[in-house]
A and B are shown apart, each in its own frame.
Chain A
Amino acid sequence: MVLLELAFKSLRNRVFATSLTVISIALSVSLLLSVERAKRAAEEGFTQTISKTDLIVGARSGSLQLLLYTVFNMGSATNNVSWKSYQELKKNPAIGWTIPYSLGDAHRGFRVVGTNEDFFKYYHFRGDQRIELQSGRILEGLWDVVVGADVVKKLNYHLGDKIIVSHGITKGEGVVHHGDKPFEIVGIMKQTGTPLDRAVYMSLEGGEALHIDWKDGAMPTRDKMIPANQIRKEDLVVDEITAFFVGAKSRIDTLRLQREINDYKPEPLMAIIPGVALSELWGGLSYAEKVLRIISWMVVVVGFMAMLIALTTTLNERRREMAILRALGARSSQLVGLLVFESAVLTFLGVALGVGLSVGLIALLKPWLESEFGLFLGGPALTGFDFLLILITFSGGTLMGLIPALRAQKMALKDGLSVKL
């Protein structure tokens, strides 16, 4: 149809103003989509901080507290789980595997976790991702430690470096260093993008060995100290851990297992389902994502306003053109159609460019975002919801074109063909 051709030629004629409008729409659309994508990645990353673990078990306290000190390296446990209870519960035939988790020591601001080789075997995050080493090997000897990627980056460590573990979680005054018992870095973990990157891992016995010569929570005097080379792994008895992770043999057993652990008589314990707890926690943070979304919609509205201004100002210059078309017999509804079509073309180009910009830029920056910020942008580049957003943006922009178009129509019907300034 000739009016469509006219619209294209007219837009091409005003290519500078047109491109600016398209770019402003494109930028706002790409911001909107990128925020959505980042939000999705953040939510996925957050709720998948730990996966495949059916239960986390610790001393009875708040479920949030348990989640925070096990999965997020935050806060501390008020009580421990005795080794005896752990061994007993482990025998439950519904349990497939467990990972013991012992907290309490730190290294230069990073937590030290006592665990065993099952940690490297069974701990999963982001679906089926497992801990991998970028160099070295996993824990074997008593004085071995494996360190997370962020620890290495921050403290610039290498394999074979000796590190000293301090008692207590915080840095600063009152912290006692176990200077007499240095550990050796035998493995360095690959970046996981989870709190795992910010911890140091040693064997359960290693943690025990640190305190072997301690009595009633106090440091030994110099003469009672047992030197490191006289301690052997076999001599150490672990009598408590902070928590443990459980993988059920079958998902169906999870709830029953949880109930059994919660009802465990010899010791007050608590089991939480990490997936549920993580979703709840994320839900509590969702106001932040709402604010983000509102802001990006506001940016889209500003983009539309730029288009509205561009269309309205050019409309004044184009009243002559409209009068000519009217004189040639174009219906006023056709002129409205022409202007709305123009804004539809502008919005379409803007949205298409915006989508390309957002998808392309994220694809380009993905490796960098992952390695530098641990922001893993998994999942599809565009979801059904994104398409809904795109559709809303497109219709919004097109409808926006109705405002100047109807204004032009009203003026034309009232004033006829004469164009007065």
Chain B
Amino acid sequence: MNQPLNSKEPLIEIKNLFFTYEGQDKPTLNIPAFKVMPGENLFLFGPSGSGKTTLLECLAGVLQPNSGSLKILGKDLCLMKPAERDSFRAEHLGYIFQSFNLIPYLTVFENIILPLYLSPARKARLKGSDVQLVIRGLCGNLGIGDLADKKVLELSVGQQQRVAVARALLGTPDLLLADEPTSALDTDHREKFLKLLFEVAEHFGTTVVFVSHDRSIENLFSLSLSLQTINQS
């Protein structure tokens, strides 16, 4: 449903990006050039400590690169003020952690609807559709339709991760960043989970960037890349 003005325009465009953690002398990220086109399902793999999470957090605008440019939807995150990056993230991005994605004292439904409260722009993307219906539909598609009013602590890990997907995709974001969200699942559930994720993401036209050290799921993605080939650090 998201239609960039020109489908040849990259969704993510990185040039000469450097990122060094405070107190370290060697940069964790040094990416001369990297592009992701809209609609791609990108699998980025790399060993533990190679900087996958760091890259995702730079993409999310949570960490501020030291130099270079990082454009999403043509906008350079490096030139934005922190608050602007926060609202950009709220409007355009979904983020899924490896585990513990949900706020324990809220219900499943409250967890999913949270981004709409934090960002009016995200809510506007629903174009006035009934939020209740959208969420019920999303949950139905992800196979968690009957869990909406449960407490998150009563859910299995796989169910929790699907709730996290529902939340990340609510309001049809342009980009979904997933940081090894399947590592707590067994092989069977992993594949089922990813198939559901792709289905819904494709339906919404959301681009997926998925990082993991586990290459066994690589073949499910349309594109697979090693972080070490793009990161020169």
Interface residues of B in 102-121 (CB under 8 A from A): 102-106, 114-115, 117-119
Complex contact A2–B117 (CB within 8 A): yes
How many residues in A have their beta carbons less than 8 Å from beta carbons of B? 23
- Which chain B residues have a beta carbon within 8 Å of chain A's beta carbons? 21-22, 53-54, 57, 60, 62-63, 82-83, 86-87, 89-91, 93, 95, 97, 100-106, 114-115, 117-119, 122, 167
Question: In the complex, what residue of chain A is closest to B117 when comparing beta carbons?
Answer: A2
**A329-B122, A416-B57, A416-B62 given as contacts; is B103 within 8 A of A324 (CB)?**
yes
A363-421: which have CB < 8 Å to B? 414, 416-418
Q: How many A-B residue pairs have CB under 8 A?
A: 72
* A9 (CB) vs chain B CBs: closest residue: B105
In the docked arrangement, what's the CA distance between A328 and B177, Å?
12
**Which residues on A sit within 8 Å (CB–CB) of B54?**
416
Q: Is the CB of A328 within 8 A of B97?
A: no
Contact (Cβ within 8 A) A323 B117:
no
How would you classify the secondary structure of chain A's contact residues: helix, strand, loop or mixed?
Answer: helix
Interface-facing stretch out of A46-54, A126-134, A188-196, A330-338: A330-338
Contact, CB under 8 Å: B87 / A13:
no
Give the chain A neighbours of B119 by CB distance below 8 A. 328-329
A residues in contact with B90, CB < 8 Å: 328-330
Contact B104 A13 (CB under 8 A): yes
Q: Chain A residues with Cβ under 8 A from B97's Cβ?
A: 323-324, 327, 417
Of A6, A12, A321, A418, the contact of B57 (CB 8 Å cutoff):
A418
CA–CA, A416 to B115, complex, Å? 19
The residue on A at minimum CB distance from B86 is: A331
**Interchain CB contact under 8 A, A320 and B100:** yes
Q: A320-B100, A416-B54, A417-B62 are in contact. Are A328 and B105 (CB under 8 A)?
A: no
Q: Please tell me which one of the listed residues A325, A329, A331, A414 contacts residue B22 in the complex, with CB atoms under 8 A apart.
A: A414
Nearest CB in chain B: distance from A8 CB, A: 10
C-alpha gap A13/B117 in the complex (Å): 20
Which residues of chain A are near B118, meaning CB under 8 Å? 2, 325, 328-330
- What CA separation (Å) do A10 and B185 show in the bound complex? 28
Determine if A333 and B83 form an interchain contact, defined as CB atoms under 8 angstroms apart. yes
CB-CB < 8 A to A158: which residues of B?
none
Complex contact A9–B63 (CB within 8 A): no
Determine if A211 is an interface residue (Cβ-Cβ < 8 Å): no
8 A Cβ contacts from A8-28 to B: 9-10, 12-13
Contact B83 A331 (CB under 8 A): yes
